[in-house]
Homo-oligomer: A and B are copies of this chain.
Amino acid sequence: MAVYTEIPDDALADFMSRYDIGTLSSIKGIAEGVENSNFLLHTTTSPYILTLYEKRTAESDLPFFLGLMEHLAARGLACPVPVHARDGTLLHRLAGRPAALVTFLEGMDVKRPTAAHCAQVGSALAAMHEAGSDFSMTRPNALSVAGWHTLADTVAGRADRVSEGLGALIADELALMAAHWPNDLPTGVIHADLFPDNVFFIGAELSGLIDFYFACTDAYAYDIAICLNAWCFEADDSFNVTKGRALLSGYNKVRSLDDAEADALPLLARGAALRFLLTRLVDWLDGPQDALVKPKDPREYLKRLRFHQHAVGAADYGYGG
């Protein structure tokens, strides 16, 4: 949960006057996202989300994120759509922060995904990859192999405080990734953070995707690998191959994986686990102690990484067969 910035009445009125979206009738800070301040607005026309971008989102990346959401929505993907002010702009300043208004996407995240949810997530991810394929902007993935080294340096010598031997394991994994990370897979815009809290359902049906603030240009199959980590492990840290099969098969129905992508899945999944292990580890050791956002346990991703260390092929994730 996160509401960090308070908006003075006058500033809000001034901000709203730039838009043609009816009269504001309600604004509630909502407990959504951990990076930015989000407010659910009701106006005489519709609900909207107002986001104030806090420090962790780089202002220079916002045109990419907002442009992407607009592009994906125009291609038919269900996602929040940035709203243009009367002067045509998408990005403003409010209460000292970069601020943007997007349409409100109805739906709820699921706390305990089933295989049926995973199948729809796979299809939606593929639909996002297809819809983004002609997006003209690019953004390098700051949280790929080079970024992982930087994160590892940040916590050097302290990882073992969290788990005995973790420092050595991270060093070994980084060496492996540096040597074997694939650079020739099909590439385009990926979501890069499609966790269950970023996928909405109404009843049993997926209603859309949110939170494109980690989106970047990278291998499509790496996005799938992130989803395998995020959606297909059980609370006891076991991998549910039925969910994996559902997710991969849902993806494949919309966009076919090629052989190189399928073959790379174990390594990509292992890299994805390392990425979330490292960011969680940094937050765990160095995160703000304000208790507004409780850091997530990095050891969860250590266990996932260990699963991927023993995977030998895409079949271990339910692919094919």
Contacts and interface: CB of A to CB of B under 8 A. Distances in A.
Given A47-B42, A291-B290, A106 B26 contact: yes
Nearest to A289: B291
Contact of A8 (B8, B111, B202): B111
Nearest to A49: B28
Interface in A150-191: none
A26 B110 CA distance: 11
Interface of A: 1, 3, 6, 8-9, 23-32, 40, 42, 47, 104, 106-108, 110-112, 202-203, 207, 290-292
A42 B3 contact: no
Contact of A30 (B30, B108, B292): B30
Contact of A23 (B27, B202, B292): B202
A8 B235 CA distance: 14
Given A106-B42, A111-B8, A292-B292, A30 B31 contact: yes
Contacts of A24: 108, 202
B31 A3 contact: yes
A47 B46 CA distance: 12
Contacts of A26: 104, 106-108
A31 B40 CA distance: 11
25 contacts: A1-B1, A1-B29, A8-B111, A8-B112, A9-B112, A24-B108, A25-B106, A25-B107, A25-B108, A25-B202, A26-B106, A26-B107, A26-B108, A28-B30, A28-B31, A28-B32, A28-B40, A29-B30, A30-B30, A30-B31, A30-B40, A31-B31, A40-B40, A290-B291, A292-B292
Nearest to A10: B112
